[in-house]
Structure 1
Amino acid sequence: MTSPASQKQLQVQLVTISSNNEGQRIDNFLITQLKGVPKSMIYRILRKGEVRVNKKRVKPEYKVNVGDEVRIPPVRVAEKVETFLSPKLDKIAMLEHTIIYEDDCILAINKPSGIAVHGGSGLSFGVIEGLRVLRPEAKFLELVHRIDRETSGILLIAKKRSALRALHEQLRLKQMTKDYLALVKGDWSSACKVVQAPLLKNVLKSGERIVRVDQEGKPSETRFKVEARFGFATLIKASPITGRTHQIRVHTQYAGHPIAFDDRYGDKSFDAALIGTKLNRLFLHAAHVQFTHPKTEQIMQLQAPLDPILQHCLAALRQN
């Protein structure tokens, strides 16, 4: 059975660009319009001139303007691509219950641990793909930022291109603050309030990303505050000033206090010491974010509660 989205892709579409997509590259616009279509096919139809803007051929880097008429040719998608979301319907439905804020500009969820923010690297499903299924009427849904697959907590999604631009500008100017909670090995010193260590990202042949402190890396800064002490472990608040890949995880390791159950930068003996708490996931949670609303210009403060696994872990540590 062919889905409505697939039927739409099997006929010529004429789409008029609205203000939501103004300034977007034509290749990125097509990716959002032709969900599930391989990028290689999108660049092929652009190269062959099958995509027209105002009846003219364009290059992938062309940025669309309000009022542009885009001709999108029929595109046939393999059946396995059309149906890749069907086994994930339960997870997609679950995302509805993770929404902690939504208006006509932005949407925020308390992302569960174990779900990637987007598909790729062998993953066909991520948060953004799931939300697009949940909100088929939404013409624009894009990630404002990213958090690691095993990290839980607040994730912001823009529902308008203007909102995305405004929030990206706040990130660039360091006007958005994000606070994470992490359980780390050992007794964190109250004197250690900031770690400034340059980070260099390496991609292994497997596609796995490994980050290490390296003088040739990018400048990186994280601020820390002790929240609770448990003798062999400390609950800390980590506030990244820069936004590098795996930044908090590598900076805590560099400080000698790796995060509990971190499969890349952690300490197996520390994980074993936590067995009585029933912790079985990375203890890193995006708990709080503050930013200026892109439309109302009000200061927004969003909180995301810890999931039951993290709550149980802390309760067990306090009891002991």
Structure 2
Amino acid sequence: MQFLTVPEELAGQRIDNFLQARLKGVPRSRIYRILRKGEVRVNKGRVKAEYRIKGGDQVRVPPIRVSEESAPAVAGDQLRRTLEAAILYDKGGLLVVNKPAGLAVHGGSGVRLGLIEALRQMYPDSPFMELVHRLDRDTSGAILVARKRSVLLHVQAELRAGKLGKSYLALAAGKWPRGCKLVEAPLKKNTLKSGERMVVVDGEGKPSTTRFQVAERFNGATLVAAEPVTGRTHQIRVHAQFVGCPLAGDAKYTPDEVNGEFRGLGLKRLFLHSAEVGCTLPSGERVQVKAPLPSELELVLDNLRKS
């Protein structure tokens, strides 16, 4: 039996989310079951999953066995060193990480360990650690992580209000249309018969807007800066495809023969990088952080300039 005291900085969080972060490897369905049966007690009383905890609450948690298959993966030394070197900002309850490509932001769907799980292991004394927003697994660059609940709520409110600054660098195949600086095309999620999830431009989809600015033109490619006004899944990738310039290295939305040409230039991944993020802290302080373009992407640009 565990007895946990809720720290003040977690006040306002739902009890199911509080338990999920502490019962590593326990399925959410199991957490709902022990709450429903009253096996979890807060201040000696039963609570529902939507109960919002308060600072100082005493939470009794029953013993729960976790199978080896569902036990959480442990971040290895190499991943820890990589992430330690990738910390761009850590102040005022906000963490900005230069996420490497290939690392999912959180576990699930066959991924046992993501960025947020690794960070929680690296900061065991930090009672709160949550993603402010997400990046696709194959996208690199700056991502915001809150170390205080007050920061999470404040910055996410900015995100919903469209005040959060996010700028990406992307390499688009072909010649970007001149004058194309704003793409407004509704996006809809589709699941193929194979089970693969795709996003398409569809009149019944959600309104979606991306600003684009040409940064550099090459023979057969264009480097663009992209600022998503809305935050839909795969938004930049699908909007680039919509104007006829799909992103280099995109296995989902770009033809294989096009990607083959970029592989010849040394590209081994999706060329999409979160280059800059900006927000304010609850104190009113403005935070603006840039993430340098990875060396493997710089190499591709150098090869394009030579060609």
TM-score greater than 0.5 by the shorter chain: yes
What displacement does 1:171 show?
A: 0.1
Q: Cα distance, 1:188 vs. partner? A: 0.8
Q: Is 2:60 the counterpart of 1:71?
A: yes
Closer, same or farther: CA 61–147 of 1 in aligned 2, 3 Å: same
2:280 counterpart of 1:317: no
1:169 is aligned to 2:157: yes
Contact 2:143–2:277 (Cα < 8 Å) also in 1: no
| TM-score normalised by structure 1 residue count | 0.92
Contact 2:237 / 2:247 at 8 angstroms: preserved in 1? yes
Counterpart for residue 288 of structure 2: 301
Shift in alpha-carbon separation, 1:44–1:93, aligned structure 2, 3 A: farther
Amino acid at match of 1:41: R
3-state SS of the aligned residue for 2:264? Answer: helix
Q: What RMSD, in angstroms, separates the aligned Cα atoms of the two structures?
A: 1.6
Q: What is the match of residue 5 of structure 1? A: none
**Which residue among 215, 219, 224 is the counterpart of 2:207?**
219
| From 126, 130, 140, the counterpart of 1:142 | 130
Q: Distance in 2 between matches of 1:163 and 1:206?
A: 40
Q: Per-residue deviation at 1:21? A: 1.5
Deviations 1:114-145 (A, max 9, x none): 11000000110100011111111110100000
CA offsets 1:43-94 (integer angstroms, 9 cap, x no match): 22112111011211111111112332211122222234446326x4432332
Instruction: Establish whether residue 90 from structure 1 lines up as the match of residue 71 from structure 2.
Output: no
CA distance in 2, matches of 1:204, 1:104: 43
Q: Alpha-carbon deviation of 1:104?
A: 4.2
Aligned match of 1:240: 228
> In the alignment, what sits opposite 1:24?
13
**How far has the Cα of 1:207 moved from its partner?**
5.1
The one of 256, 261, 267 equivalent to 2:249 is 261
Match of 2:100 in 1: 112
Q: In the alignment, residue 39 of structure 2 is paired with which amino acid?
A: E
In 2: Cα distance, 1:110 partner to 1:142 partner: 16
Matched residues in 1 for 2:193 and 2:41: separation? 38
Unpaired stretches in structure 1, ≥5 consecutive residues: 1-11
Shift of 1:205: 6.1
Could you list the per-position Cα deviations for residues 227-270 of structure 1 after superposition, in whole angstroms to 9, with x for gaps in the alignment?
Answer: 00002100000000000000000000001100001011112232
Q: Which residue of 2 aligns with 1:197?
A: 185
Match of 2:47 among 39, 53, 58: 58
Contact 1:190 1:225 in 2 (8 A): no
Contact 2:15–2:50 under 8 Å retained in 1? yes
Partner residue of 2:272 out of 265, 284, 294: 284
* Shift, 1:33, TM fit: 1.7
Q: Is the 8 A contact 2:24 2:72 kept in 1?
A: no
Query: Which of 132, 136, 140 is 2:120 aligned to?
Result: 132
Q: Closer, same or farther in 2 for the Cα pair 1:92/1:257, shift >3 Å?
A: same
Determine if contact 2:39/2:62 at 8 Å carries over to the other structure. yes
Q: Distance in 2 between matches of 1:64 and 1:148?
A: 31
Identity of aligned residues (%): 52
Paired residue for 2:258? 270
Q: Report the counterpart of residue 46 of structure 1 in structure 2.
A: 35
CA distance, structure 2, for counterparts of residue 159 and residue 205 of structure 1: 40
8 Å CA contact 2:24–2:71 kept in 1: the answer is no
Aligned length: 307
CA contact under 8 A between 2:187 and 2:199: conserved in structure 1?
Answer: yes
> For residue 297 of structure 1, what is the amino acid of its counterpart?
G
Amino acid aligned to 2:153: R
The TM-score with structure 2 as length reference comes to: 0.95
Counterparts of 1:318 and 1:133, CA distance in 2: 42
Query: Is the 1:93–1:134 contact (alpha carbons within 8 Å) kept by the matching residues of 2?
Result: no
